[in-house]
A and B are shown apart, each in its own frame.
Chain A
Amino acid sequence: MTIELTHFSAALLFAVFASVVFGITQRTTAHDQLRYGLYCFAMFVGGVFVAGWLMWLVRR
């Protein structure tokens, strides 16, 4: 069985799973874990857009 993901959907899935683990392991209280997980997810997705635009500029 194989699946074909786009680059963006693969990056989103990566961000979700990594953020869950970072949130749980790097903070102690449930509230802080949720907040840190969301922060990591936002940073991952933000990084994807920044990298995308940088590559677009390099390509020009």
Chain B
Amino acid sequence: MANPLTAKPKASLEPERPSIVQPQITTMSVLAPALGWLIPGAGHLIQRRWIRGLLLMASIVTMFLLGLTMQGRVYKPNGGDILDILGFIGDLGSGGLYIITRVMDWGQGAIAHAIADFGTKFIIVAGLLNFISVADAYHIAIGKKP
């Protein structure tokens, strides 16, 4: 009888499964997206991506502020119309900007102006762009993107 300790293993006919590499959870992989959500572009700045971070910050903050000055509407948490719910989710992406706006009670919206509707869309899209920026900061933090 062959010694199980010295016996050579039989060649397996099954192909080797590729190992699934889980992204390593680090402090930066949590901090960068969280900070990037709160302050647009800060997730990149904290990882020393200065130019990218400043460009993202300038774009998202300017877009949000333009939306406000165009008398756009900022959505409040709601459980009514589906478009209102989606509008709130979009607005929420702006993080700190949204919180400040709600605290200061800005963004009431002006129905009389057609351009105010553009402002509402600017505010929503600024939040959605910040969601993309947050995902990018996370990808940098886990090493998926240089």
Q: Which residues of A contact B (CB under 8 A)?
A: 1-5, 7, 10, 13-14, 16-18, 20-22, 24-25, 28
Contact = CB atoms under 8 A, between A and B. Distances in A.
18 contacts: A2-B69, A2-B71, A3-B66, A4-B115, A10-B115, A13-B63, A13-B66, A14-B121, A14-B125, A16-B59, A17-B59, A20-B55, A20-B58, A21-B60, A21-B129, A21-B132, A22-B132, A25-B56
B115 A17 contact: no
A3 B118 CA distance: 12
A22 B55 CA distance: 11
Interface of B: 52, 55-56, 58-60, 62-63, 66, 69-71, 115, 118, 121-122, 125-126, 129, 132-133, 135-136, 145-146
B137 to A, nearest CB: 9
B70 A2 contact: yes
B26 to A, nearest CB: 20
B118 A17 contact: no
B67 to A, nearest CB: 10
Contacts of B66: 3, 13
The 6 closest A-B pairs by CB, nearest first: A25-B136, A17-B59, A21-B129, A20-B59, A17-B63, A3-B69
A24 B52 contact: yes
A25 B132 contact: yes
B56 A21 contact: yes
A22 to B, nearest CB: 8
